[in-house]
Amino acid sequence: MKEFIENLMEGNGIKYGKPWRLSDKSLGVAIPIVSLIETVRHYRVLLDKDNIKVSDTGDIDKLKLTMNVKEPIFIRSGTIFKGDTQARGLQTSIIVMPQTNEQEIPVRCVQASKGIVMGTSMNRATVVAPQSVDKELLRGDQGAVWGSVSLYSLSAQPSRTRLLGSMGSETCDSHIASDNLTKELQDMKGSIDQIIKKMPIVKNQGGIVIVDAKGVLGIEIFDSSDSWEEMKNQIISKYGRELSEEVDSIFEINEKKIPKKISEFLNTLLACKEEISFEDKEAKTFILKGNGVIGEYSKLKEKVIHILGMRSDKE
């Protein structure tokens, strides 16, 4: 991971693109990470067309995944699985290897009020965990995950008002906390999709940095622009609320200071403690925990293919 991040900091084969905001009042800024070198990947990411079977093991922190693949498949943390049992979020990114066929995957419950039904088939949801929930999934504390789901629900109404308002839609005037995360996200999906459509397409983009008034909120990058292209909608949607947040007047950003803020954040990631969170044959994922940051990175055959880092108010 060190070499990957140092290349980004030094501009070796990677550069930052032009910052983008939804409006002049938006607090959230998206900076594309552009690859200057074409990389051939030896895996692919999970797509909607893939034949994936998931079922409830009866344990709150494990699901059974059945998938016969001919090449490694990357499945990102925060992926949500739902069915006639409690919904779960993937706790850490995994790489499904050929000839694995069946395995247990690490998850956390994101729907406390629904009971577990052992053996129930589950489907991958069309939404992914927002960054506030994703951070707690990475930490793995079940109580904290439930708490983040409730907090997301409680704060959803103001965000939905801003999102729909910016799209010229009327809004509702009341909201009660819910633990049905997939429904909360689905209710906002249409508006977040509009943000994704408005975001400029950048050739050879391999990742993104999200910055707000406090500094770097999150960074995510793949080793291949093909992987970013296939995952970008999910990743951008994680920050839909933050990208839509506005102040009453025009908010000026100092673009010259952004690279320094990103470098400081990356240095903090480099100083993180690492813990193996997933391992299968030649694939590994490591959780990163440090001073004000949480994240992960995945390796395939000793090559880093994905890095995720998010600002955190916890150690």
d(CA 201, CA 19): 12
pLDDT for residue 76 is more than 80:
yes
Q: 55-59, 179-183, 191-195: which has the highest mean pLDDT?
A: 55-59
Handedness of CA 67, 207, 265, 155 (dihedral sign): negative
The separation between CA 252 and the C-alpha centre of its own chain, rounded to angstroms, equals: 27
pLDDT tens-place string over residues 251-272: 677 888 888 999 999 999 999 9
pLDDT for residue 309 is more than 60:
yes
**pLDDT score of 164:** 45
Compute the average pLDDT of residues 89-115: 93
Supply the mean pLDDT for the chain: 89
d(CA 198, CA 193): 9
**pLDDT score of 315:** 64
pLDDT for residue 313 is more than 80:
yes
pLDDT tens-place string over residues 125-184: 999 999 999 999 999 999 999 999 999 988 765 554 444 454 444 444 445 668 899 998
pLDDT tens-place string over residues 8-46: 888 888 999 999 999 888 889 999 999 988 888 999 999
d(CA 99, CA 131): 32
Handedness of CA 50, 56, 61, 64 (dihedral sign): negative
pLDDT tens-place string over residues 244-254: 888 877 767 78
Residue type, position 279, single letter: E
Least Cα distance to 149 among 170, 127, 171 occurs for 127
**pLDDT score of 162:** 47
**pLDDT score of 170:** 41
Which percentage of the chain shows pLDDT scores above 70?
92
**pLDDT score of 122:** 96
**pLDDT score of 174:** 44
pLDDT for residue 284 is more than 80:
yes
Maximum CA extent, the chain: 56
Output the DSSP codes for the chain: -HHHHHHHHHTSSEEE---B-SSTTBS-EEEEEEESS----S-EE--TTS--EEEE-SSTTEEEEEE--SS-EEE-TTEEEEESEEEEEESS-EEEPTT-EEEEEEEEES-TTSPP-TT-EEEEEEEE--HHHHHHHHHT-HHHHHHHHHHHHHTHHHHHHHHHHHTT----S-----S-HHHHHHHHHHHHHHHHHHSPP-TTEEEEEEEETTEEEEEEEES-HHHHHHHHHHHHHHTHHHHH-B-SS-----GGGHHHHHHHHHHHHHT-EEEEEEEETTEEEEEEEETTEEEEEEEETTEEEEEEEEE-S--
pLDDT tens-place string over residues 203-229: 999 999 999 988 999 999 999 999 999
pLDDT for residue 65 is more than 50:
yes
Least Cα distance to 210 among 1, 79, 20, 35 occurs for 20
Which percentage of the chain shows pLDDT scores above 90?
67
**pLDDT score of 89:** 98
